[in-house]
């Protein structure tokens, strides 16, 4: 038995029957809902509970991340959208038309995350436009986190349904 065969026995390329795919899915959505516009959610909670310096730190960090996100969008936003659309379209074609399971899995991870990216950009623009501070800023961040969690729950549900369908239709051994 050679190392190549041993490696691919350990890393199953069938995504939906692979435990690692489900671990990655859980970690991605856990991370996405914890980091609100790049700011850890515990800072939002601490600013609400303690106020003062914790709130000033939150406002400073949000300002930094909002300016960074909007700068990236202004400088290379069109290229990033074009590259993202190309990647998602390629994954959709490979996954749907050619029925490549790995592409389906990456599409089910990438498409909802692209929605989160667009939501983050819209929220950053709102925060800058409103010059949100204090309670208004915390509410805006909590609302953003709620929408990210909704997208995550729908994504996990759809991915679980599709994964169960794939495992039942194709079977655990791929044929």
% of residues, the chain, pLDDT over 90: 82
CB 156 within 8 A of CB 5: no
pLDDT for the residue numbered 1: 61
Percentage of the chain beyond pLDDT 70 is 93
Give the total number of structural domains in the chain: 1
pLDDT in tens, 126-163: 999 999 999 999 999 999 999 999 999 999 999 999 99
- Residue 2 pLDDT level (bands cut at 50, 70, 90): confident
Does the pLDDT of residue 8 top 80, yes or no? no
In a domain, 11, yes or no: no
Residue 84 has pLDDT above 70, yes or no: yes
Establish if 15 belongs to a structural domain: no
Asked, for residue 25, whether it belongs to a domain, the answer is no
Residues 70-84 as b or e (16 or more Cβ within 10 Å = b): beebeeeeeeeeeeb
Q: Give the three-state DSSP class for 123.
A: helix
Written as six digits, the tokens of 147 are 């929408």
- Domain hosting residue 101, numbered range: 54-175
Please check whether residue 151 is in contact with residue 112, taking contact to mean a CB–CB distance below 8 angstroms. yes
Asked if residue 167 belongs to a domain, the reply is: yes
Mean pLDDT confidence for 162-167: 92
Query: For residue 69, what are the contacts with CB-CB under 8 A and spacing of at least 6?
Result: 37, 38, 120, 121, 124
* Res 172 pLDDT > 60: no
Residue 17 lies in a domain: no
- Asked if the structure places residue 47 within a domain, the reply is no
Q: What is the pLDDT of residue 96?
A: 95
> How confident is the model at residue 15, as a pLDDT?
82
Residue with token string 């930094």 = 64
For residue 44, name the pLDDT band (cuts at 50, 70, 90): very high
Distance separating the N- and C-terminal Cα atoms of the chain:
23
Residue with tokens 């069938």: 14
Does 60 reside within a domain? yes
The pTM (predicted TM-score) of the whole model is 0.89
Is 39 within a domain?
no
């Amino acid at each position: 038995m050679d190392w190549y065969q041993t490696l691919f026995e350990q890393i199953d390329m069938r995504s939906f029957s692979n435990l690692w795919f489900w671990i990655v899915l859980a970690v991605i959505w856990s991370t996405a809902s914890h980091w609100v516009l790049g700011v850890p959610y515990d800072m939002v909670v601490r600013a609400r509970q303690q106020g003062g310096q914790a709130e000033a730190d939150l406002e400073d960090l949000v300002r930094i991340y909002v300016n960074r996100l909007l700068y990236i969008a202004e400088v290379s936003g069109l290229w990033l959208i074009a590259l993202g659309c190309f990647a998602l379209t390629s994954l959709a074609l490979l996954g749907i038309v050619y029925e490549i399971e790995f592409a389906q899995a990456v599409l089910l991870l990438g498409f909802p995350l692209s929605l989160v990216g667009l939501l983050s950009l819209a929220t950053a623009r709102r925060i800058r436009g409103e010059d949100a501070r204090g309670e208004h800023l915390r509410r805006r961040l909590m609302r953003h986190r709620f929408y990210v969690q909704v997208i995550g729950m729908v994504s996990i549900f759809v991915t679980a349904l599709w994964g169960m369908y794939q495992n039942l239709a194709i079977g655990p051994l791929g044929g």
